[in-house]
Copies of this chain bind each other. A is one copy, B any other.
């Protein structure tokens, strides 16, 4: 009720005080990725139309997404690529390097560790935990694999983020430990719903679930029974 009143008041205020759609936040990293690539290739200026073409996003969608945070472009000219990169980085709080703890060094955990795609956003895996005694103590990319029982010691290591790549059966215990250790954001790969306090943001990636949507969209399965 109060929220509703605030929302109505906000309608007379400038764009930047409107509620920001979740979808907008999810698109920002994609803009950022393309813009960084463009900058590397020597493109200094780009229009919302061109930028959108790289991502299958309409020009007005891109402009509106940015407008929630301010006016970053120049009418008649477009956006300064470098400036826009800096602005989006700041919005997403990616302007400071983000330390990440990886939990689980099985097939998926190893793949994530080897994956270089995090670097462009300033993420760095600085701690790895596993439960397998054969892995504990070994080095992976100069990081010593630690026993999951040591997750609680993260408290003193200024790590806000964690990637959970353990089996579903172990996931809730791991998440509980991470929350206790002061981790504020979790990217979870276990295909199950995990309970966290409201202050801890959790984003789930469920590969099988995403795949399971595909057949629905396929006009006619080759031989439907």
Interface residues of A (CB under 8 A from B): 25-26, 28-30, 32-33, 54-56, 91-96, 98, 100, 106-108, 110-112, 114-115, 117-118, 120-121, 123, 158, 160-161, 163, 184-187, 191, 193, 199, 201, 203, 205-219, 221-225
Please name the residue on chain B nearest to A195 by beta carbon. Answer: B56
The count of identical subunits is 2
A41 CB to nearest B CB, Å = 14
Name A's interface SS.
mixed
- B161 contacts A193, C-beta separation under 8 Å: no
Are B185 and A201 within 8 A (Cβ)? no
Closest to A37 in B: B192
Cβ-defined partner of A160 (8 Å) among B93, B117, B215: B215
In the assembly, what is the distance between CA of A187 and CA of B95, in Å?
Answer: 31
**Known contacts A184-B219, A207-B205: A115-B107 contact under CB 8 Å:** yes
How far apart are A25's CB and chain B's nearest CB, in angstroms?
Answer: 6
Task: Please tell me if the beta carbons of B107 and A207 are within 8 angstroms of each other in the complex.
Answer: no
Contacts of A187 in B (CB 8 A): 207, 210-211, 214
Cβ contact within 8 Å between A121 and B32? no
Residue of B nearest to A109 (CB): B111
A208–B110 CB distance below 8 A: no
How far, in Å, is A132 (CB) from chain B's closest CB? 15
Selected from B54, B120, B185, B211, the residue in CB contact (under 8 A) with A218 is B185
**Please, which residue of chain B has its CB at the minimum distance from the CB of A215?**
B93
Closest to A93 in B: B215
Q: Which one of B158, B203, B225 lies within 8 Å of A210 (CB-CB)?
A: B203
Given the known A-B contacts A29-B213, A161-B214, are A224 and B93 also in contact in the complex, defined by CB atoms under 8 Å? yes
Residues of B within 8 A of A28 (CB): 212-213, 216
Q: B207, A219: Cβ atoms under 8 Å? A: no
A94, A98, A158, A215, most chain B CB atoms within 10 A: A215
- What CA separation (Å) do A40 and B193 show in the bound complex? 18
CB distance from A119 to the nearest CB of B (A): 9
